[in-house]
Amino acid sequence: MTVINLIPGVILEQRASRKCLHRWAGRLIACGVVLAIAYIGIMRVAAGTRSEVQRLSERVEQLQGRFQGAESVIGERDRLATRLAAIASISNAPRTGWYLEQVGTALTPQAYLNYVGFEHCLVAEGKSGSGKKGECESSLVLRGYAPGHGDVGEVLRALKACGAFNEVTLAAVTELPGESSRRDVRFHLECRLAER
Amino acid sequence: MSMVGIDAGEAYLCLAQWSVRGNLRTWRAMEVALAGGSADPGGSARRIRAAAKAADILGGPAVCAICTPKVDVFPLTLRAVASESLDEQVAVQAVDRLNCSPTEVVLDYARLPVEMTRDGEHGVSVLVFAVPRALAEGLLRALDRAGFEVERLMTPACALAAALARSDPGERYVVVFPAHEATSISVVEAGHVLLERILPWSVRGLVGHMHSELDLEEEQCRRLLFQESALAGAAIEPLAAEAPSTRGSLEGALREILGPFFQDLSREVAGCVGYSDSFLRRAQIAGIVLTGPMAGNALLREFVAKASDLPLIELEGRAGLPRRGECGADFACTPAASCALWPQEGRS
């Protein structure tokens, strides 16, 4: 069979390039479709994530509001505790006077005090009867001078005998320098307050 | 749907396509005039697309046979030299035979199945086909734009030879195809084109000549040319209804007008028969195949038969080709149909 082909080469080249172009255009369109689908998917996921984040941030805001409320409650509690302590110290004020009266009674005529320290334990009083009383007890520290050791002993006996203190301890007695036989002494007493 | 067969000229196109329903092959065909020719591929593409749509012809791969006087076909005898390829020899020798620069034409060749020995040297015979590059490019661009991707561009003889080989393999024929813009006369055998001459006698030229000589419309002239009998059909009813003397004068006029053309054409046919007998391997010519729109013209048949003394063979309706009138009442699609039946690998 006579088989010839008179198609010019330029036409074949144009067709080949057109087919190549169509092939690439097809690929580009396919890529575009895939990208569009991916974009839509991502956007949907992003929208879901955004709404979730929004919901969580709202919850965070709510929790922050609650924390702020709790902090204000804590502050209120602290403020009330301070007020309670103040009320307690005010309520203990007459007792202090009573203790001082007992100390004054116990002193001999020549003995005198130059320091009275009252260490008040609020916890011990606030938790009265809870079994932790011994850990913190109110005490009275007395420092003063007496004409001799005998006066110090009398003061010690009188304090123990008055019933205002559970335990009276002579922490220190120091003789002051001098030439007479009756020499002044400086004493230091610690008295643990008794419960009323 | 089959591939599309196209019979093309510079300003004329015939498209044919077939489909099979059950055992019946149905043909669809259309013809279209291309006003701008190859110079206006866009306009031509629009016309082709519109005409194909009207005829229900689907676009796709196509095989095209081009028949214009600008197509040049000539034989070459080459020496069998081992150092030089056949392509190179054809390219060198064809230059001498071309009327233009080799760059202005598209060349292809087919090796002829004949043995040549000259001066004791063994030679190879080829038939070279050349089509003007601008013409081929314009036509193919127009068809491409219209959705018809031509896979093979050839001459009508190639397509008709393949069709004849399907019906009568091994026989040698002279094929005469008077087309719209040129007439192709070829000698074919077993699917091979042994010789082809494309001459400037055309249906269009004959219609124009008849129109100028007779007081008839061009359409009437076309019908006169395409009909079997000069006085048959509705084309010339007003004339046919007149007195027998008038009809006799019309027949005489047609013989006077067309006779010289047909006489020349018959001489060319006789020349081809003589070439076949002398130059080619000696073989009996089985007959003359007359195809195309003028295949039924009684006057043409008379002249051709008288010149060659060979039987006239009708190609229409053979080897799967459409019967006469099956494509359309006033045009023939046999060459286009032969292209549509061109064997393609992987296609039915």
| pLDDT per residue as tens digits for the range A3-47 | 899 999 999 998 899 889 999 999 999 999 999 999 999 999 999
B180 vs B238 pLDDT, higher one: B180
Q: Is B135 on the interface with A (CB under 8 A)?
A: no
**Rounded to 5, what percent of chain B is helix, strand, coil?**
40, 30, 30
User: Nearest CB to A4: which of B133, B137, B158?
Assistant: B158
Domain spans in chain B, listed from the N-terminal domain onward: 72-132
Please compute the mean of the pLDDT values over residues A112-119 and round it to a whole number.
Answer: 90
Band the pLDDT of B119: cuts 50, 70, 90. Answer: low
pTM: 0.68
pLDDT class of B233 with cuts at 50, 70, 90 = very low
Q: Is the dihedral of CA B35, B328, B150, B319 positive or negative?
A: negative
Question: Which is more confident, B163 or B275?
Answer: B163
The structure tokens listed for A46 are 């992003």
Give chain A as a 3 state SS string: CCCCCCCCHHHHHHHHHHHHHHHHHHHHHHHHHHHHHHHHHHHHHHHHHHHHHHHHHHHHHHHHHHHHHHHHHHHHHHHHHHHHHHHHHHHHHHHHHHHHHHHHHHCCCCCEEEEEEEECCHHHHHCCCCCCHHHCCCEEEEEEEECCHHHHHHHHHHHHHHCCEEEEEEEEEEECCCCCCCCCEEEEEEEEECCC
Over residues B324-348, the mean pLDDT reads 75
- Which pLDDT score is estimated for B319? 79
CATH of the domain at A140: 3.30.70
Q: Nearest-CA neighbor of A1 among B151, B189, B320, B4?
A: B189
ipTM of the shown complex: 0.83
* pLDDT of B219 higher than 90: no
Tell me the percentage of chain B whose pLDDT exceeds 70.
Answer: 86
Contacts of B76 in chain A (CB under 8 A): none
pLDDT of residue B95: 87
CB-based contact, A15 to chain B, within 8 Å: yes
> Contact B144/A11, CB-based, under 8 Å?
yes
CATH architecture designation of domain B72-132 = 2-Layer Sandwich (3.30)
Of B64, B158, B167, which to mutate for an interface test with A (greatest number of A Cβ within 10 Å)? Answer: B158
The pLDDT of residue B317 is above 90: no
Determine, yes or no, domain membership for A62: no
Is pLDDT at B248 greater than 80 in this prediction?
no
Is residue A130 scored above 60 in pLDDT?
no
Instruction: Determine, for residues A1 and B165 on separate chains, whether the beta-carbon distance falls below 8 Å.
Output: yes
Which of A98-102, B21-25, B49-53 has the lowest average pLDDT?
B21-25
What's at B21, amino acid-wise? R
| CA distance readout (Å), A190 to A97, A148, A165, B206 | 17, 19, 10, 152
Q: How many residues does chain A have?
A: 196
pLDDT of residue B118: 64
Could you list the residue range(s) of the whole structural domain that residue A140 is in? 93-193
pLDDT tens for each residue of A154-177: 999 999 999 888 899 999 999 888
Res A192 pLDDT > 80: yes
Which band of pLDDT confidence, cut at 50, 70 and 90, is reported for residue B21?
confident
Q: Does B158 have pLDDT greater than 60?
A: yes
Interface contact A7-B161, CB threshold 8 A: no
In a domain, A65, yes or no: no
Residue A95 has pLDDT above 80, yes or no: no
- Cβ atoms of B91 and B102 within 8 Å: the answer is yes
Smallest Cβ–Cβ distance between B129 and the set A6, A11, A15 belongs to A6
Which B positions 101-120 lie with beta carbon below 8 A of chain A? 106-110
Say if CB B135 and CB B315 are below 8 A apart.
no
Query: Nearest residue on chain A to B133, judged by CA atoms?
Result: A8
The larger pLDDT score, comparing residue B223 to residue B175, is at B175
Chain B residues within 8 A of A8 when measuring between CB atoms: 106, 133, 136-137, 140
- Calculate mean pLDDT across residues A170-191: 84
Residue A24 amino acid letter: W
pLDDT of B175 higher than 80: yes
Mean pLDDT of B53-76: 92
* Residue B312 host element (H or E): strand B312-313
Q: Does A8 touch chain B (CB under 8 A)?
A: yes
- Average the pLDDT over B74-96 and give the result: 83
Which of the residue ranges B20-34, B76-90, B150-164 would you say has the lowest mean pLDDT?
Answer: B76-90
**For B134, which residue in chain A has the nearest alpha carbon?**
A8
Partner residues linked to A78 by β-bridges = none
Average pLDDT (B231-240) is: 47
Average pLDDT over residues B112-127: 75
Beta-carbon separation of A1 and B192 below 8 A: yes
State the smallest CA–CA distance between residue B262 and chain A in angstroms: 28
3-state secondary structure of B308: helix
B162 vs A1: CB contact, 8 Å cut-off? yes
In the sheet where A139-146 sits, what is the strand order? A112-119, A139-146, A185-193, A165-175
pLDDT in tens, A67-77: 999 999 999 99
Q: How far apart are CA B220 and CA A78, in angstroms?
A: 121
Of A5, A10, A15, the CB nearest to B154: A5
Look at B136 and A3 and tell me if their CB atoms are within 8 Å: no
B149 contact residues in A (CB cutoff 8 A): 15
Partner-chain residue, chosen from A4, A7, A10, that has the shortest CB–CB distance to B110: A4
Mean pLDDT of chain A: 86
The pLDDT value recorded for residue A78 is 93
Residue B197, beta-bridge partner list: B185
Domain count, chain A: 1
Q: Using alpha carbons only, what angle is made at residue B197 by residues B196 and B201, rounded to the nearest 5 degrees?
A: 140
Residues of A in contact with B110 (CB under 8 A): 2-4
